[in-house]
Amino acid sequence: MKSATVCSILLLLVSVVPPVGAAQSDTRLAGFVLGLDGRPADGFRVHLIDDAGNDAVQADVDESGNYRMSGLRSGQYNLALETPDGHYAAVEAPPLNLREGHLVRRDLKLIERDPSAAGLAQPSYNFGTWWAGLTVGAKVWSIAAVVVVGIITADALSSDEAAASEFLP
């Protein structure tokens, strides 16, 4: 009985604790910040904001416009960009889904906002930012749906042409 308990504990430890020297999964985020003038924006700070609105991680933007974050937890996040003078800038940045062990690249582009607007401006979304925020599976299903709709439409149009030709002299 005692040896069965010891074996069970050892088996549990072996399955939970990784072997010495084993690589740990590391979720990372990296990107590039582009200024209003089209050049790399340095001196800014990128904030990773979790679903609860907490500032989870921060990273400074280097002189080349790059930022890097590592050791992140999986989950849904938003990105915010702090200017060198401590204000928040408006950026194009769709919501972000981080998964364990992945490196995610998310570039940010500063956008103009109304100077009278208080607080953080809403991101400017377009097709590109929407597409960038989709998972690979969602992209595959989106493309499949467009192909199916295209086939159905082409078939319907050819059927209409055939029906119309019956009435032509």
| pLDDT digits 0-9 by tens, 5-53 | 544 554 444 444 444 444 444 889 999 898 888 888 888 999 888 887 8
**DSSP per residue, 65-111:** SEEEEEEEPSEEEEEEEE-TTSPEEPEE---EEE-TT-EEE--EEE-
- The two structure tokens encoding residue 12: 């549990």
Distance between CA atoms of 56 and 167, rounded to whole angstroms? 69
- For the segment 118-147, the average pLDDT, to the nearest whole number, is 67
Q: Among residues of the chain, what percentage have pLDDT more than 70? A: 66
* 1 pLDDT above the threshold of 50: no
Distance between CA atoms of 142 and 11, rounded to whole angstroms? 45
- Residue given tokens 């809403």 in the structure block: 122
Where along the chain do its domains lie? Answer: 25-124, 134-169
* 153 pLDDT above the threshold of 90: no
pTM (two decimals): 0.53
* 101 pLDDT above the threshold of 70: yes
Distance between CA atoms of 136 and 116, rounded to whole angstroms? 39
Determine the topology of domain 25-124 in CATH: Immunoglobulin-like (2.60.40)
